[in-house]
Structure 1
Amino acid sequence: MGFIRTHQGDRVGADGLVWGVDPMCRVLSEHGLHIAPSTYYEHIRKRPTARMFADAAVIDAIWKLRQKMMFYKGLGSRKMWIVLRRSED
């Protein structure tokens, strides 16, 4: 998806052809990477969900804990979950 976004609208060759999403998807499909143009446009329009925001908050809390205390860097997921639950109280 990033490749298409980066190169969309680039001028190619001496005649100055402009690459669009459809031709790029067609060329990528010829090389074994099947992406439909509708999939690309859906990905562009997609907004962050509540779950994405919640996951980002948890990742941020883990990062802050690990910066605050070196001991927390060695904790696995189960013990880190216990520490995070305890810190909410």
Structure 2
Amino acid sequence: VSYLFYSIIILFLSFSHFKNHILSYLLCLEATVLFIFALITIFASSSIHVSLVLLSIGACEAAMGLSSLICSVRISGSDNLFV
């Protein structure tokens, strides 16, 4: 449980560091999801279903993030958040 807390802290710190581009946000979010997936896989190895659900949620999150990035680039011409 404390590792999940640390990953959330790292997520918020990385979000505060990369605050100009959508792609930076998406990369930080993907790294956090991958870190949580690795922790759950290592420490809860008895339940493979939980790790598969988390991996599929991460894949859906990546697809939605990339589609929102494409829509933002088509509308504004760049991936800046505050244009």
The TM-score with structure 1 as length reference comes to 0.30
Which one has the bigger strand percentage? 1
Bigger RCO of structures 1 and 2 (CA < 8 A, at least 6 apart): 2
TM-score for both structures, normalised by structure 2: 0.31
Structure with more of its chain in helix, by fraction: 2
